[in-house]
Structure 1
Amino acid sequence: MDSKPNQLHIYFLPLLSPGHLIPLVDMARQFARLGVKASIITTPLNATNFSKTIERDKQLDIEISIRQVKFPSVEAGLPEGCENAASVTSPEMSLKFYKALDLLQQPVEQLLEEDRPDCLVADLFFPWATEIAAKLRIPRLVFHGIGFFPLCVYHSLRTHKPHKKLESDSEAFIVPDLPGTIKLTKRQLPDHFQEVNHLTELIDKAIKSELKSYGVIVNSFHELEPAYSEHYRKVMGRKAWHVGPVSLCNRDNEDKAQRGRAASIHEKCLSWLSSKKPNSVLYVCFGSLSLFSTAQLLEIANGLEASGLQFIWVVRREKTYDGEKEEWLPEGFEKRMEEKGIIIRGWSPQVLILEHEAVGGFMTHCGWNSMLEGVTAGVPMVTWPLFAEQLFNEKFLTDGVRIGVAIGSERWSRWFHENDVLVKSEAIQKAVSLVMVGEEAEEMRSRARALGDMAKKAVEEGGSSYTDMNRLLEELRLNCP
């Protein structure tokens, strides 16, 4: 299909991790619907997870395509076929994965030189993208995968280093120079703040690269975090545009069911939900990268059972052979919970589940995408942050917009040993009951619904995100050679 006169051609380069890849694909689709020619760069295995969705868009005469490059797994010391962060299971593999991302520079540069797009939207973790864009004399926009609030917290911690003055890991400190009061402890900070590791150097490079870029594109909406969106742009002086929630570009059930990966259980799951009363089911999911210990999964199972609540629980464990005991489940758990709950092993149709009227609460790891999808669906949340910026996001949910109850996980934890337990079943039972039952739960639900309404209006014509996105495109048209 030939490009139209004055049509912008934008390339999108997502980090090969579900929490970055899924929203950037949604964003590319969103831009394509506004008349942009969008090209998504990814690798063969990752392409299979969203190629059907892109094909459906193309059948609607939307100009969007997938451009594939080979992922250098073997060259970086990874197993063949390890093309996504969801396949990384140890710190050693993580180091090799980031090495592979560096090796993508040459094939990506070659692709851009051949196609000569007008703009490159590239993930934070590709600091070399700014260099490529400068060579081609096109703007590079940075995508972090998180919102204005965590971006502001990160900036303050890097600039002021308040944690360096503390002797105790458990002593609380106030994050300086921010709207509102945000209290953290040393143990809640990402490990690269506390010790130099492979991420420390990469993030330093990424920040320097961002400062030389055209600006930042954020999956958020102004009404959710107005003080932080203003702080980021006016006080910190960063050029930024909010274009979210991008998950709302998925308008039909097929798109929602296949978002990120096809979820084979979605029809059974939705049928089960439709048999339940409104706000009676708790959805439990900890994202695509969290791998809990057997001991912690047992605590979750016991807490859910003790709560007496109905639930859908997503677990990153494969189904065992018939008759084989699953060590992470209490004896007879699934039999006892036949009417009460569903366990999804693997990928779930999260957006479809969250927006169902039977779902009244969401136990989450507080990843920005999950948090934003919970907000968009208008459900209160049980917050159980683990790593990355998730412990910051928890503060936003519990103390900022007040639609979350903290479960009590208070340390940054990326990798688990087999007997690690962060949260006991009694704390789980208590937190889920506070979110699902009683007057306080109803008040949180009311606040969550109001935010959900704002989220939907933000991406509609005339809404804050719709307007910001069009403002960005107009600026690119004026500035592109």
Structure 2
Amino acid sequence: MSFAGDQQRGSTTKTTAHFVLVPMMAQGHTIPMTDLACLLAEHGAQVSLITTPVNAARMAGFVAGVEEASLPVQLVELPFPAAEFGLSDGCENLDMLQSTEHIRDFIKACGALQEPLAARLRQEWPPPSCIISDMMHWWTSDIARELGIPRLTFSGFCTFASLARDIIYRDNLLENLNDEEEIVKLSGFPTPLELPKARLPGSLRISGVEQIREKIYAEEMRSDGKIMNSFQELEILYIESYKQATGKKVWTVGPMCLCHRDSNTMAARGNKASLDEPKCLQWLDSNKPGSVIFVSFGSLVSTAPEQLVELGLGLEASNRPFIWVIKAGNKFPEVEEWLADGFEERVKDRGMIIRGWAPQMMILWHQAIGGFMTHCGWNSIIEGICAGVPMITWPHFAEQFLNEKLVVDHLKIGMEVGVKGVTQWGSEQKEVKVTRNAVETAVSTLMNDGEAAQEMRMRAKDFGVKARRALEEEGSSYNNIRLLIQEMGNKQNASG
């Protein structure tokens, strides 16, 4: 795919800003980057999105979408050296790793893309004016310095969690803490914030990753700024505090998911069509507005069968209509056996079960949806906010417990299901974290007509309106995107 309207080499004509986007190969990281590519291109910038063959195959819908819209976006494929780092052939995405033991090897394999990417960018025309890379790709800083262009980092976190993470790393708050339940207070945070060590980002220690983590943080601090998938009206206090704490420019250009929110353009986010999609729409159409609870836990969460059973029995006991997206990894046959042993038959008149991938944005925007039970990944939360849907929070790992704090305590658009322990990604869940009674209580409370539920619904709808306005002409994120493109273009023309 080539750029439309490229300037000729040697021309003195003013050059359009050319952004190189380098996402982490994980669905939760890649999807907002593809959205960012579209947003930048829609504002007139040229974009090169870097990926690998297996991930490029997943993004066929994205490629078709940008070509149909004639957006100046090109997909650049680089061979991924999986075998050289002890990974199975074709293992090019975090969701393909069997355990956390391979994370170090995967990150190192990503780092080996440095020279091939640098060689490609040396030949690009128009030349790159800026690299926006996932914070995990610390090595892209070396490429940016060689080319004499800015490197901006993208983490996929909200600003609330990013600020907390910065304070934790800067002040070494987790050092010498052996008790996973010891309460950690984050001094310097603009509002009171404390959580047990296990619920904070950085608490998961993986052999051999500590040195890499230090490089990631060091290069993040040397970067020229941050791109955030958020908007000013949602997190203004934390955005300003983050700018002060890091001394960096922060561009909030979200919610990026609004770039492709309807069913006709979902393919541009890299999602394949689901066989359940027409059936799903028909089922939703048969339910009253605001009556259905949607349950989905993201791409990396693989819930243990015992916990899925408790969750299902809680949904059944709530007597509320529900759509439930189930993923159980290699233990899914056990779940299928339970579903077939009476559960699916008992709930067939008011429950729909989707196995694997689901058209989440399409579901959330349907008028029948009245609540969203989420694992608290930021992509899911921002999608729920955009749709104006209140949430039941069920965090598992990473920064998800911080996101829960933002949603429940500060935005006041959700309620906790009552998770008592951390389920670390890549480790087998040993016991049930949330009982059926807790699920039933949370669903019944959120979906009823009580004063607290009505207040959450009202606030959620208000933030949904603000989210949409942020990306409309002269909205806060709309203006930030234009300023970003202008500044990077000016730097390129000044250096040229």
Q: TM-score range by the shorter chain?
A: over 0.9
- Do 1:221 and 1:245's aligned partners in 2 also have CA atoms closer than 8 Å? yes
- Paired AA for residue 473 in structure 1: I
Task: Indicate the residue corresponding to 1:445 in structure 2.
Answer: 457
Residue 50 of structure 2 corresponds to residue 48 of structure 1 = no
Residue in structure 2 matched with residue 388 of structure 1 by the alignment: 398
Inter-CA distance 233–321: structure 2 relative to 1 (3 Å threshold)? closer
Query: Do structure 1's residue 476 and structure 2's residue 488 form an aligned pair?
Result: yes
Task: Give the conservation status (yes or no) of the 8 Å contact 2:417–2:438.
Answer: yes
Q: CA deviation at 1:330?
A: 7.2
Asked if structure 2 preserves the Cα contact closer than 8 Å seen for 1:174 and 1:182, the reply is: yes
Aligned with 1:357: secondary structure? coil
Equivalent residues of 1:385, 1:394 under 8 A apart: yes
C-alpha distance in 2 between matches for 1:2 and 1:32: 13
Structure 1 residue 8 corresponds to structure 2 residue 11: no
Judging changes above 3 Å, is the alpha-carbon distance between structure 1 residues 61 and 187 closer, same or farther for their aligned structure 2 residues? closer
Name the residue aligned to 1:370: 380
The worse-fitting range, judged by mean Cα deviation, of 87-96 and 13-22 is 87-96
Residue 35 in structure 1 maps to residue 47 in structure 2: no
Alignment partner of 2:265: what SS?
helix
Note if 1:100 corresponds to 2:109: yes
Measure, in 1, the Cα distance between the counterparts of 2:335 and 2:420: 32
Provide the rounded CA distance (Å) in 2 between the counterparts of 1:431 and 1:321: 26
Higher mean C-alpha deviation, range 249-258 or range 114-123: 249-258
C-alpha displacement of 1:234: 2.7
Indicate how the Cα distance of structure 1 residues 284 and 204 shifts in structure 2: closer, same or farther if over 3 A, else same.
same
Indicate how the Cα distance of structure 1 residues 391 and 197 shifts in structure 2: closer, same or farther if over 3 A, else same: farther
Q: Which moved more, 1:122-131 or 1:48-57?
A: 48-57
Distance 2:134 2:176 in 1: 32
Partner of 2:10: none
Distance 1:427 1:231, change over 3 A: same
Q: Please say if residues 63 and 268 of structure 2, whose CA atoms lie closer than 8 Å, have aligned partners that are also in contact.
A: no
Residues 450-465 of structure 1 mapped to structure 2, 5 A cutoff: 450-465=462-477
**Cα deviations by residue, 1:32-81 (Å, 9 ceiling, x for unpaired):** 01111111111112112223333332233321111101122222212222
Select the residue among 215, 222, 225 that pairs with 2:235: 225
Give secondary structure in 1 for the equivalent of 2:373.
strand
Query: Is 1:280 the counterpart of 2:283 in the alignment?
Result: no
CA 1:194 to 1:46, structure 2 compared with 1: closer, same or farther past 3 Å? closer
Aligned residues between the structures? 479
Structure 1 residues 463 and 329: alpha-carbon distance in aligned structure 2, compared to 1, 3 A threshold: same
Tell me the CA shift for residue 423 of structure 1.
1.1
- Aligned partner of 1:88 in structure 2 is 97
Shift of 1:307: 1.0
Query: After the TM superposition, which residues 172-321 of structure 1 pair with which residues of structure 2 at under 5 Å, given as runs?
Result: 172-190=183-201, 192-193=202-203, 195=205, 197-256=207-266, 259-264=269-274, 265-317=276-328
User: Structure 1 residue 417: deviation in Å?
Assistant: 2.6
Give, as a single letter, the amino acid of the residue that structure 2 aligns with 1:398. Answer: V
Please state how far the C-alpha of 1:259 moved relative to its aligned partner.
3.0
1:249-271 alpha-carbon deviations (Å, 9 max, x no partner): 11542222563321312221111
Q: For the residues of structure 2 that align with 1:288 and 1:198, how far apart are their CA atoms?
A: 25
Q: 1:320 Cα shift?
A: 11
* Paired position in structure 2 for 1:358: 368
**Further displaced range: 102-111 or 168-177:** 168-177
Alpha carbons of structure 1 residues 326 and 172: separation in structure 2 relative to 1, 3 Å: same
The share of aligned pairs that are identical, in percent, is 39
SS at match of 2:397: coil
Alpha carbons 1:459, 1:466 under 8 Å: kept = yes
Matched residue type, 1:461: E
Answer whether contact 2:62 2:270 (CA < 8 A) is retained. Answer: no
- Distance of 1:79 and 1:150 partners within structure 2: 33
Equivalent pair of 1:312/1:342 in contact (CA under 8 Å): yes
CA 1:89–1:425: 2 relative to 1, 3 Å = farther
Tell me which residue corresponds to 1:159.
170
- Superposition deviation, residue 238 in structure 1: 1.8
2:372–2:389 contact (8 Å) kept in structure 1: yes
Superposed CA deviations along residues 68-115 of structure 1, whole A, max 9, x for unmatched, are: 011222222122222111112312232322222122222222221221
Q: 1:448 to 1:198 in 2, by over 3 A?
A: farther
Q: Is the 8 A contact 2:420 2:434 kept in 1?
A: no
The residue number in structure 1 matching 2:438 is: 427
For residue 210 of structure 2, what is the amino acid of its counterpart?
T
SS at match of 1:193: coil
SS in 1 for 2:195: strand
Gaps of 5+ in 2: 8-13
Question: Cα distance, 1:410 vs. partner?
Answer: 3.6
Residues 209 and 460 (structure 1), Cα distance of their counterparts in 2 relative to 1, 3 Å cut: same
How far the C-alpha of 1:25 sits from its partner, in A, is 0.6
Q: Is the counterpart of residue 150 in structure 1 residue 161 in structure 2?
A: yes
Does residue 60 (structure 1) correspond to residue 69 (structure 2)? The answer is yes
31-40 or 264-273, which deviates more: 264-273
User: In the superposition, relative to structure 1, how do residues 418 and 155 fare at CA in structure 2: closer, same or farther (>3 Å)?
Assistant: closer
**What secondary structure sits across from 2:456 in the alignment?**
helix
CA contact (8 A) 1:383 1:406 kept: yes
Post-superposition offset of 1:171: 4.3
Q: What is the DSSP-based 3-state SS (H/G/I as helix, E as strand, rest coil) of the residue aligned with 1:342? A: strand
User: How big is the shift at 1:228?
Assistant: 0.3
Distance 1:321 1:88 in 2: 17
Q: Bigger shift: 346-355 or 195-204?
A: 195-204
Checking the alignment, whether the CA contact within 8 Å between 1:291 and 1:416 is kept in structure 2 is no
Does structure 1 retain, via aligned residues, the 8 Å contact 2:305–2:331?
no
Q: Which runs of 5+ in 1 are unaligned?
A: none
Distance in 2, Cα, partners of 1:145 & 1:296 = 27
Q: What amino acid sits opposite 2:472 in the alignment? A: E
Q: 1:22 corresponds to which letter in structure 2?
A: I
Deviation of 1:164 after TM superposition, in Å, equals 5.1
* Cα shift readout 1:377-426 (whole Å, capped 9, x = no counterpart): 11111111111110111111110101111112243322343643111111
SS of equivalent residue, structure 1 residue 292: coil
Decide whether aligned partners of structure 1 residues 63 and 224 sit closer, same or farther in structure 2, where only a CA change above 3 A counts: same
More deviation, 240-249/84-93: 84-93
TM-score, scaled to structure 1: 0.94
> For residues 164-187 of structure 1, what are the alpha-carbon distances to aligned partners after superposition, in whole Å with 9 as ceiling and x for unaligned?
586754343432111111121122
Give the drift of 1:281: 0.7
What secondary structure is seen at the aligned counterpart in 2 of 1:184?
strand
Q: 2:421 is matched with which residue?
A: 411
Q: Distance in 1 between matches of 2:199 and 2:17?
A: 42
